[in-house]
């Protein structure tokens, strides 16, 4: 079993190093809450510097053999992992709901989107193909190969404890690297179930490791010379600091940060469809998605009918524990986070916004879990805290504008640039928006445009620090480095000394 019961009757979540569970000896740990009940449900180890060093050393040793393993064998292993994750979807999703709180169907969706990345990585022999130029000069060929980096680390957020690790480790391992995952300390158990499946698939011990913990573990990963690359997903201040520290230490880094995703609705949009999309994208997973829609920019006359259609749909959202059938929105991750989100609702009126629907009055808020109902804020404007900050909860803001240009300017002036969407029936307007907007992922009548696994995921501006996006083709590029070989097999009869600079013609 990945999680062992300890004497206190509460589960302990350990590290996974060298193909087995390793309890921490650091003496430090954190509480894992059950967000649906408000009770603690596990204790998670926090790694010491020495434990992180041990994981890196084991990974470094495992890397030597793994990078020499045939591509076809690595591909076969990914196919096996694909089958195992597929067969264990429900187990992963249940564990995820238990610790994160999101509804079970939503958790199943998360697993499915993570699995896509393993499917992509099955094609690693094709993905790692280099290039070859015959006869670059007489008798000389030039070719480029791609090689793995070594030990690479992934530091992941609480909101996708299965999918985001799979975004990273599927490509990292398939490309021949050894991987160290530092999951969120708030929902750490899924990482151990994934580790079991990775081992079962035949990935050699030490190639995939999990180090549980907090910033002590992260800081060591950023400093250790044997960690060659760092993938991070989390909030913007941490992403920025990780990018700065790790690049200063000579590592390759992709650090994805927070978001404030705007959905622009033009007056010609289908109001029912736009309202369905807004409610789904704002309140799914209780708004704890980096691609959640948190601002609707309603242009002109569409505002009133759209808000009315949104209100009707909000009234039907069922809030409650994620494992109870029929519930559509679960609790938030912790009590502190719930209270922080609720404080934006409490302050909205004093900032000049109006609270059109107050989620604090939802019946679920009387339960002991970390619940908060869906909230709609109207007449929000840039400059208000509820607009400026990433709230990361079930709070949707409406900003009203008179023109497309005004709406576009607002989106482009926002410091974040993760996802955005336009709702319209006008193809020309949609194409213009796609051309104009400063964001990395754009939806046209699609509210959550998370790219499929054979494209790459990444925002612009304060939503991503680094040059390469996550997963897909960029993922393969991130986890490999190019080597160019210039080769000649001369006829010894033509060989001579020539001190001139090599010419190609
Ligand atoms: P977070 O930044 O608090 O934590 C992310 C990871 O960093 C965790 O593993 C955590 O242990 C670690 N960490 C936290 N503080 C640290 C510090 N000071 N030093 C070193 N490590 C630290 O983020 P979170 O609350 O777990 O996740 C929610 C955030 O993640 C939101 O801002 C959301 O938008 C963002 N997110 C972004 C994407 C994306 O693709 N851009 C995807 C998912 C989540």
Strands (DSSP E) found in 259-302 = 261-265, 293-299
Atom of ligand 1 minimally distant from the CA of 160: 43
Instruction: Let me know how long the chain is.
Output: 505
% of the chain residues with pLDDT over 70: 98
What does the pLDDT look like over 333-344, one tens digit per residue? 999 999 999 999
- Rounded CA-CA distance 398/296 in Å is 5
Residue 114 CA to ligand 1 centre (angstroms):
18
Region 301-321: what's the mean pLDDT?
98
Residue 363 CA to ligand 1 center (angstroms) comes to 30
d(CA 39, CA 36): 8
Terminal Cα-to-Cα distance of the chain (whole angstroms): 65
Confidence grade of residue 10 (pLDDT, cut at 50, 70, 90)? confident
pLDDT tens digits for range 185-241? 999 999 999 999 999 999 999 999 999 999 999 999 999 999 999 999 999 999 999
Q: How far is the CA of 364 from the centre of ligand 1 (A)?
A: 27
- Which helix or strand (DSSP H or E) is residue 61 part of? helix 49-68
Stretch 129-135: mean pLDDT: 97
- Taking residues 323-332, report their average pLDDT: 98
Alpha carbon distance 396, 375 (integer Å): 6
Confidence band (pLDDT; 50, 70, 90) for 3? very low
Beta-ladder partners of 151:
178, 227
Q: Which of 234, 292, 416 has most ligand 1 atoms within 8 Å of CB, for mutation?
A: 234
Confidence of residue 7 (pLDDT cuts 50, 70, 90): very low
Stated pTM of the model? 0.96
Ligand 1, atom nearest to 183 Cα? 9
What is the rounded average pLDDT for all residues in the chain? 96
Q: What is the pLDDT of residue 1?
A: 37
Choice between 5 and 43, residue whose per-residue pLDDT is larger: 43
**Probe ligand 1: pick from 45, 157, 281, max atoms within 8 Å of CB?**
157
pLDDT at 158 over 90: yes
Tell me the C-alpha to C-alpha distance, in Å, between residue 177 and each of 139, 194, 479.
Answer: 34, 17, 7
With a Cβ cut-off of 6 Å, ligand 1 is lined by 155-160, 182, 184-185, 214-215, 218, 233-235, 238, 256-259, 290, 390, 392, 418, 459, 463
Q: Which pLDDT does position 504 carry in this prediction?
A: 79
Given a cut of 80, is residue 69 above it in pLDDT?
yes
Distance CA 471, CA 168 (A): 6
Model pLDDT, residue 491: 82
DSSP state letters, 156-206: --SS-TTHHHHHHHHHHHHTT-EEEEE--TTS-HHHHHHHHHHHHTTPPTT
Enumerate the β-bridge partners of residue 464. Answer: 256
Where b means 16+ CB within 10 Å and e means fewer, 13-49 reads bbbbbbbebbebebeebbebbbbbebeebbbbbbbbe
419 C-beta neighbours (distance < 10 Å), count: 30
* Mean pLDDT along residues 160-183: 98
pLDDT reading at 353 higher than 50:
yes
pLDDT given at position 413: 98
CA angle 63, 69, 71 (to 5 degrees): 120
Distance 216 CA to ligand 1 centre (A): 15
CB neighbour list of residue 493: distance below 8 Å, 6 or more residues apart: none
Distances (CA, A) of 16 to 45, 386, 499, 500: 11, 40, 56, 56
| pLDDT band at 53; cut points 50, 70, 90 | very high
pLDDT at 6 over 80: no
Going by pLDDT thresholds of 50, 70 and 90, the confidence category of residue 373 is: very high
Q: Kind and range of the H or E element at 111? A: helix 104-121
Q: Confirm if 228 and 150 have CB atoms less than 8 A apart.
A: yes
pLDDT at position 502 over 90: no
Mean pLDDT for 107-130 is 98
Task: Give the ligand 1 atom nearest the CA of 236.
Answer: 32
- What residues are annotated to the active site? 290
For residue 401, give the H/E element and its range.
strand 395-401
CA atoms within 13 A on the CB side of 263: 34
Rounded to the nearest angstrom, the distance between the alpha carbon of 503 and the centre of ligand 1 is 51
H/E element, 478: helix 472-478
* Segment 450-471, tens digit of pLDDT: 999 999 999 999 999 999 999 9
Q: Which one, of 138, 145, 217, lies nearest residue 503 by Cα?
A: 138
Mean pLDDT on 152-160:
99
């Amino acid at each position: 079993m990945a999680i062992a019961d300890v004497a206190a009757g509460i589960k302990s979540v350990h590290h996974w190093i060298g193909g087995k569970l390793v309890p921490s000896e650091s003496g430090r740990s954190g509480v894992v809450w059950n967000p649906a009940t408000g009770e603690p449900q596990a204790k998670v180890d926090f790694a010491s510097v020495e434990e992180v060093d041990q994981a890196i050393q084991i990974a470094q040793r495992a890397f030597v053999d793994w990078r020499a393993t045939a591509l076809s064998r690595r591909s076969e292993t990914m196919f096996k992992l694909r089958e195992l994750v597929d067969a264990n979807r429900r187990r992963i999703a249940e564990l995820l709901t238990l610790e994160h709180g999101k509804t079970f169907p939503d958790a199943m969706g998360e697993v499915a989107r993570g699995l896509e990345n393993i499917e992509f990585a099955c094609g690693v022999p094709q993905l790692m193909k280099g290039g070859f130029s015959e006869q670059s000069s007489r008798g000389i060929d030039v070719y480029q190969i791609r090689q793995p980096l070594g030990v690479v680390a992934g530091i992941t957020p609480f909101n996708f404890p299965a999918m985001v690790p799979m975004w990273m480790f599927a490509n990292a391992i398939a490309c021949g690297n050894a991987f160290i995952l530092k999951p969120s300390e708030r929902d750490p158990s899924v990482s151990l179930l994934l580790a079991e499946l990775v081992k079962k698939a035949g990935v050699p011990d030490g190639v995939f490791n999990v180090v549980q913990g907090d910033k002590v573990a992260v800081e060591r990963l950023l400093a250790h010379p044997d960690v060659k690359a760092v993938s991070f997903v989390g909030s913007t201040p941490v992403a920025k600091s990780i990018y700065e520290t790790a690049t200063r230490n000579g590592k390759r880094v992709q650090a994805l940060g927070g978001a404030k995703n705007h959905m622009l609705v033009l007056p010609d949009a289908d109001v029912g469809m736009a309202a369905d999309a807004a409610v789904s994208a704002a309140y799914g997973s209780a708004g704890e998605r980096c691609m959640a829609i948190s601002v609707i920019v309603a242009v002109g006359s569409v505002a009133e009918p759209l808000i009315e259609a949104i209100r009707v749909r909000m009234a039907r959202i069922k809030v409650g524990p994620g494992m109870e059938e029929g519930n559509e929105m679960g609790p938030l991750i912790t009590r502190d986070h719930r209270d922080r989100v609720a404080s934006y609702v409490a302050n909205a009126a004093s900032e000049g916004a109006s609270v059109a629907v107050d989620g604090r009055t939802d019946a679920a808020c009387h339960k002991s879990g970390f619940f908060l109902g869906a909230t709609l804020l109207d007449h929000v404007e840039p400059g208000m805290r509820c607009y400026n900050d990433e709230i990361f909860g079930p709070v949707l803001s409406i900003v009203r504008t008179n023109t497309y240009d005004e709406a576009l300017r607002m989106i482009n002036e926002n410091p974040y640039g993760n996802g955005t969407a336009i709702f319209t029936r006008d193809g020309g307007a949609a194409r213009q928006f796609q051309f104009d907007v400063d964001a990395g992922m754009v939806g046209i009548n699609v509210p959550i445009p998370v790219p499929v696994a054979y494209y790459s995921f990444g925002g612009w501006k304060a939503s991503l620090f680094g040059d390469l996006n996550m997963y897909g083709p960029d993922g393969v590029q991130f986890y490999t480095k190019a080597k160019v070989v210039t080769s000649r097999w001369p006829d010894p009869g033509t060989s001579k000394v020539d001190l001139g600079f090599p010419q190609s013609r």
